Structure 1
Amino acid sequence: MRANFSSDQKRTIATLSVAIAIRMLGIFLVLPIFTLYGEQFTSSKPLIGLALGSYGLANALLQIPFGWLSDRFGRKPLLIIGLILHGVGSILAAVPPNIYALIAARLIQGTGAVSSVAFAMVADSVDEKNRATAMAFLGISIGLSFVGGILAGPMIASLSGYASLFWLSGLLSLLASIYVAVAIKEPPRERRTADVSGDRPSVASVFKIPGIIKLGVCGFLMSFFMSSFFFYFPLLARRHLPLQSYYLLLGPMVLAAAVVMFGASRAADRGWAKSMGVMAFVVLAISGWLLFRGADLGLQDHPLLVLTIAGVFFFAGYTSLEPILPSLITKASPKTMYGTALGTYSSLQFLGSFAGGAAAGFLSTLGTEFVMAALLVAAASGIILMSQVKTA
């Protein structure tokens, strides 16, 4: 059955997709060049890794509070506040006098923890049977930010310097906060006796729901895999292509991601979310193996082909999980605590981003085989957890 949305629902989904796309540029736009930017301030790889990961760490710490506050006071005010914080942190990250100031700026940048609020607003606005498709639009906006950031970041940096990426991210984020303020309506939410009495479910109650915790850990593993994978992917690609030419490598991946994203969301709407989630982690495992051991297939003379195949598999797995996991979270949680449940999920997801970047930086001192092992363990753990998720 085709998903049908009202004009208000379309406006809400479109506005949130734009806001989240801009928000996620804070990670993706600088991902291919952040290490090079950090080297302008220090030669310490651990400090550079901390600066890279601090964005995700701040997000992890604040997603639950933002989700909880949005359950209490509404989604729209928290979205605007988060976008402003992100914008201010981005601008500060463009002008740091030293690596410690860069770390502090990235922490501020990460305090705009609005992902859970945006997904909760979609859950408020759309009925359950169309929710996975609506989530897919937010997921595809994240995917486009991911691809657009990876593609555009190196080209923009080569033309106007690394700091320009942070200036751009800050400006767009502040513009997005104005757009949200004028273009979106606070959706009606169900008010129950618990709302009136003040006996709303607490944050602690989320951790008593096994399904939410398992899905949250899957989000952690997905983001861990993404950060670790893309810590190395640009470094490997740089051996064969200049940064300005990455689009030649990433083009096929973009096409694959778009097809797989919508296919996964439609499959989830038909009740196949669990199977799709398991398959997505299997695909991620294949991509991790190909990234480091693709030459074992006899393609050592075609390294760009191996990287392209690995990237296509990665994008297919990653963009499948993006709409599926939040949709399953909303199905596993009571309607009065969507924001809190999605905040828990997003916290674990961003914690995975922090852990993946930090782990890749540390393991790089030991050898690439250790990074590959970490990727395979993360994917295998995701397969096990997804296979245990109960769906209604």
Structure 2
Amino acid sequence: MARRSKANRVPFTSLQKKILLALASVVGLRMLGLFLVLPVFTLYGLQFTHSRFLVGFAFGSYGLTMALLQIPLGRLSDRIGRRKVLILGMALFSLGSFICAVPHWFPSGMQIGVLIAGRLVQGGGAIISVAFAAVADHIQAERRSTAMAILGIPIGAAFIIGVIGGPILAGIFGTAWLFWITGVLGLGTDMLLAHYLPETPPSGAEPAPLAGIIRTPALLALDAGGFLMNFFMSTFFFYFPLIVTGRYHMKMTQYYEVLLPMIFISGITMFLFTRGADHGLARPLAAIAFLVFLPSAVLLFRPALLGIDPNHIAAILAGGTLFYIGFTGLEPILPSMVSRTAPETAQGSALGVYNSMQFLGSFAGGSIAGAFAHALADTGMMITLFIASLLGSALMISVRAKKESPVHETASAS
């Protein structure tokens, strides 16, 4: 049977391959713009202000506009077509990147404001859900799952390349160059879209109502889980350069020495998490992943409580590895739980709401981390993460999925 299904599988046409290349470039570069600067953004922001709160706000403001515009732009693409919205979104992303590269061109009192404005504009190109929807427009149903997986590859690659390569490039050329690079690549992606992505007429159908989704307790719990997951991510990466540079005196070009082991170990555990989730253990594994953030918070902020010398590199290695294990465990499981819980007719909208809550969590994490860092209240940050960890675990335990079928390939097309 397996041989027969493979033989009957319809190959991608030349045009479909070009469309997937353009869409994969959009998705990958969109996320690369976020991941490249994650490990170094805090130090970059502190060049323009002494307020760690404002740096944290700038760090998270990218996620704020992403959260606010994810659903509206997805619905706009239903009305005017995907191609126009994708090109507009990437143009905004490039414009925001260029603004983030030039705060030093302005008077010192305006510089942090310019950086915040650039991050807000960057996030304004909230086109991830539109890119996934474009796949459904151009790829036949029997190949759509493969196409969605192809779009997922650049997201994973962007994460690895960004968090490892970003500090190295920033250490050699300066952090501003990261924004110049992503801005130029974004414009190049617009040319790919204009050349390879056909204009499709809007469906004319009314978008599915959101009222039923936001009133479903299980989906609300998962949305809150996505919020908390990205809250942890923003918090970790806001503090990471402060810890490794301030406590261990590492240069940005040396960050990979601690990040590579974290990513390698979490890559193995992510595979184990996803395998377990495929065997019906998604809910308890998600609850465990949130609990992993508890010892991570202690090791990052008060390692002496666990008998580890704060000045020993083992504290950040262990704390960071536990963060990565929890984060990479949740990243694939939570969207799967959303799609299994949402009604068949509203999976795209449900994932759109979930993605918006994720980005809102990124904004909240950066802003709150900046506030605690400005007040030099590391213990307060640790306690906040404790509460968030326990809350996330409790939310996952409370979820009851309505379906047991695997995720449909159209689930991400919001």
Rounded Cα–Cα distance in structure 1 between residues aligned with 2:399 and 2:174: 46
Rounded Cα–Cα distance in structure 1 between residues aligned with 2:298 and 2:384: 11
Rounded Cα–Cα distance in structure 2 between residues aligned with 1:136 and 1:262: 16
Q: Deviations over 1:240-280 (max 9, x none)?
A: 22221111111111212322333333433333322322222
Rounded Cα–Cα distance in structure 2 between residues aligned with 1:134 and 1:272: 26
1:293/1:102 CA distance change after superposition, 3 Å: closer
Which deviates more, 27-36 or 381-390? 27-36
Rounded Cα–Cα distance in structure 1 between residues aligned with 2:225 and 2:303: 26
Q: Quote the residue 1:368 is aligned against.
A: 378
1:381 alignment partner, one of 391, 402, 407:
391
Say whether 1:99 aligns with 2:112. yes
Rounded Cα–Cα distance in structure 2 between residues aligned with 1:319 and 1:265: 10
1:348 deviation in Å? 1.0
Say whether 1:176 aligns with 2:189. yes
Q: Quote the residue 1:322 is aligned against.
A: 331
Rounded Cα–Cα distance in structure 2 between residues aligned with 1:47 and 1:300: 31
Q: Quote the residue 1:295 is aligned against.
A: 304
1:116/1:324 CA distance change after superposition, 3 Å: farther
Q: Deviations over 1:78-108 (max 9, x none)?
A: 3333222211211122123222222222111
1:296/1:42 CA distance change after superposition, 3 Å: closer
Rounded Cα–Cα distance in structure 1 between residues aligned with 2:131 and 2:277: 20
Rounded Cα–Cα distance in structure 2 between residues aligned with 1:183 and 1:334: 34
Q: Deviations over 1:119-171 (max 9, x none)?
A: 5566886979x96x987766664444334222222221222222111101112
Q: Is the 8 A contact 1:140 1:319 kept in 2?
A: no
Rounded Cα–Cα distance in structure 1 between residues aligned with 2:341 and 2:10: 25
Q: Quote the residue 2:233 is aligned against.
A: 226
Which deviates more, 133-142 or 79-88? 133-142
**Structure 2: runs of 5+ lacking an equivalent:** 404-414
**Structure 1: runs of 5+ lacking an equivalent:** none
Q: Is the 8 A contact 1:143 1:319 kept in 2?
A: no
Rounded Cα–Cα distance in structure 2 between residues aligned with 1:379 and 1:298: 22
Rounded Cα–Cα distance in structure 1 between residues aligned with 2:280 and 2:200: 26
1:186/1:256 CA distance change after superposition, 3 Å: farther
1:236/1:246 CA distance change after superposition, 3 Å: same
Q: Is the 8 A contact 2:299 2:315 kept in 1?
A: yes
Larger Rg: 2
Q: Is the 8 A contact 2:41 2:238 kept in 1?
A: no
The aligned amino acid for 1:167 is W
1:8/1:280 CA distance change after superposition, 3 Å: farther
Q: Is the 8 A contact 1:71 1:340 kept in 2?
A: no
1:34/1:388 CA distance change after superposition, 3 Å: same
SS in 1 for 2:255: helix
The aligned amino acid for 2:394 is I
1:345 deviation in Å? 1.1
Rounded Cα–Cα distance in structure 2 between residues aligned with 1:204 and 1:224: 25
SS in 1 for 2:34: helix
CA RMSD in angstroms comes to: 3.4
Q: Deviations over 1:16-36 (max 9, x none)?
A: 554323212222222233233
- Residues 1-392 of structure 1 mapped to structure 2, 5 A cutoff: 7-8=11-12, 16-73=23-80, 75-96=82-103, 97=106, 98-120=111-133, 141-182=154-195, 198=206, 200-238=207-245, 239-240=247-248, 241-300=250-309, 303-364=312-373, 365-391=375-401, 392=403
Q: Is the 8 A contact 2:27 2:131 kept in 1?
A: yes
The aligned amino acid for 1:372 is M
Rounded Cα–Cα distance in structure 1 between residues aligned with 2:276 and 2:25: 24
1:69/1:7 CA distance change after superposition, 3 Å: farther
- TM-score for the superposition, normalised by structure 1: 0.85
Which deviates more, 275-284 or 102-111? 275-284
The aligned amino acid for 1:319 is T
Rounded Cα–Cα distance in structure 1 between residues aligned with 2:97 and 2:37: 11
The aligned amino acid for 2:218 is G
Which deviates more, 298-307 or 311-320? 298-307
1:375 deviation in Å? 1.2
Q: Quote the residue 2:411 is aligned against.
A: none
1:287/1:29 CA distance change after superposition, 3 Å: same
Q: Is the 8 A contact 1:67 1:340 kept in 2?
A: no
SS in 2 for 1:303: coil
Rounded Cα–Cα distance in structure 1 between residues aligned with 2:148 and 2:317: 27
1:174 deviation in Å? 2.3
Q: Is the 8 A contact 2:53 2:369 kept in 1?
A: no
1:183 deviation in Å? 5.4
1:176 deviation in Å? 2.9
The aligned amino acid for 1:259 is I
The aligned amino acid for 2:315 is V
1:292/1:120 CA distance change after superposition, 3 Å: farther
- Percent identity reads 45
The aligned amino acid for 1:173 is G
- TM-score for the superposition, normalised by structure 2: 0.80
Q: Is the 8 A contact 1:281 1:379 kept in 2?
A: yes
Q: How many residues align?
A: 385
